Structure 1
């Protein structure tokens, strides 16, 4: 059996001089990169974003990690590939299992040399990343749920409502989760805009190359296929109609 979540978080915090509170926060990838840096000392930490907040930043961190795996031939020591698509979702079980493997690898390969994690990341902030958790049911404090369910959906008249002793704490917790989800939504919108801008650049480049080829009486099936993919739509989604200039011909 591997170490528990509590043991792993304590070890990671001590090794990297950070203050994570949950194992799923490691799903941003930064901690995994720096753990390997503590072994080898040559991970490009300037490319690692320790305070990553958006999924595309998590992916970039894991690309650094995968490059280290290949360069150090760690992929041969691990029986299966890094489950990046699962880890970046910041789910507890996936990150727990991967961190347990990382800890075993570290135990076998760390040479005991001194390591200054803050200097290696050049003082970059490493505050605990925010992770999205489901809204907590009121049953947590004895309201609705086993042993405290409301009969017929009605609150007993004149009786003491379980959990009402801590309404402010519950309300503050819900507000905090709403703020966290709002931040997550903002991150998703930025991520969408980021990838849309890239696709737009590709679209313009392809169109320019096709126009050059057409002026020379040539064509390129690869560019045509790329353009077809860019302009394709799915069922239930149609591109908005664009006003056509009467002088424009097709």
Structure 2
């Protein structure tokens, strides 16, 4: 199979001088071409199918540093790869010209912009005959485990296809600022601000309606001096109620933000440890024949349910209770 900087002539031999274009035009081929001519400087991609855990698997911190180093980015979390922009530039780095970086939204912040980038990535995969199916719906949600699994696969795909040629990522973006997408957690926490305005608007409408309802009373109160003294009291009470409602809404929003922050941390921790358990499961499946009893015991622990654990704890308590009853019987005999 030809490498990324090789081409095959119609007779199947390596030919670095010419390249056929639809069987009609002969286009000169050069290894070191300018960017406008790079559409013909790649062959087909090498597919990678192995997804098992190996020693080459990188941690989330290492994989983020690897992405930043190659593409001159400032990503801080694996979840920020959900925008798809980094993958698009990686494809341009592996197979120059297979994707138009002008169409890539490097400043994407919304989900529909992420989907746009992944559509470009899918088109480049199809163009290069890459068999990998991109789980777009999962990736754009910004979940940690989904994005970690995909970047781990892409790292292996990159290593299988990269030929070591020099690449300037900043120049390739042609002046586009590669701003890291916002953290999915931050997008969640910004939602209560909108709800705060939405919650405050009904109170404002209520005060306006209350004020409008009091205006007819002022016209009738002119003929009754005793009722005119009560008008200031009626006009000030809605203002006090509005301030109290705004204070309650602000307090509830603070509590909601705290709960969402705690929930996000729990979900990330859950996904992290689930990934670790999945790695242990794969290792047990690979080493099952070599270390039979030990691996079987690990698999029992991994697959045990809450009911099984409760029954095991109950048996332990019964055994301890029987042991505790033995000294009492011996004392009765004496």
TM-score, normalised via structure 1 length = 0.52
1:127 matches 2:179:
yes
Superposed CA RMSD: 2.0
In the TM superposition, residue 123 of structure 1 has moved relative to its aligned partner by 2.0
Q: Distance in 1 between matches of 2:79 and 2:175?
A: 23
Corresponding residue pairs, total = 136
CA contact (8 A) 2:109 2:182 kept: yes
Structure of higher RCO (CA pairs closer than 8 Å, 6+ residues apart): 1
Residue 50 of structure 1 aligns to a residue whose secondary structure is coil
1:85 matches 2:141:
no
Q: Which residue of 2 is the match for residue 6 of structure 1?
A: 61
Structure label with greater radius of gyration: 2
Trace 1:26-105 onto structure 2 (pairs within 5 A).
Answer: 26-42=81-97, 43-75=99-131, 78=132, 81-105=133-157
Trace 1:124-163 onto structure 2 (pairs within 5 A).
Answer: 124-133=176-185
Q: Distance in 1 between matches of 2:184 and 2:148?
A: 17
Q: Distance in 1 between matches of 2:155 and 2:107?
A: 22
Q: Distance in 2 between matches of 1:104 and 1:86?
A: 20
Residue 73 of structure 1 aligns to a residue whose secondary structure is coil
1:114 matches 2:170:
no
Runs of 4+ aligned structure 1 residues displaced above 4 Å come to none
In the TM superposition, residue 126 of structure 1 has moved relative to its aligned partner by 1.1
Q: Deviations over 1:139-185 (max 9, x none)?
A: xxxxxxxxxxxxxxxxxxxxxxxxxxxxxxxx9xx69x99xxxxxxx
List gaps (5 residues or longer) in structure 2: 1-52, 190-253, 262-334
In the TM superposition, residue 129 of structure 1 has moved relative to its aligned partner by 0.8
Q: Distance in 1 between matches of 2:79 and 2:184?
A: 10
In the TM superposition, residue 127 of structure 1 has moved relative to its aligned partner by 1.8
Q: Deviations over 1:55-104 (max 9, x none)?
A: 111111000000000000012xx3xx110000000111001000001100
Q: Which residue of 2 is the match for residue 195 of structure 1?
A: none
Worse-superposed segment, 113-122 or 125-134: 125-134
Q: Which residue of 1 is the match for residue 47 of structure 2?
A: none
Q: Distance in 1 between matches of 2:175 and 2:59?
A: 29
Residue 74 of structure 1 aligns to a residue whose secondary structure is coil
In the TM superposition, residue 132 of structure 1 has moved relative to its aligned partner by 2.3
In the TM superposition, residue 47 of structure 1 has moved relative to its aligned partner by 0.6
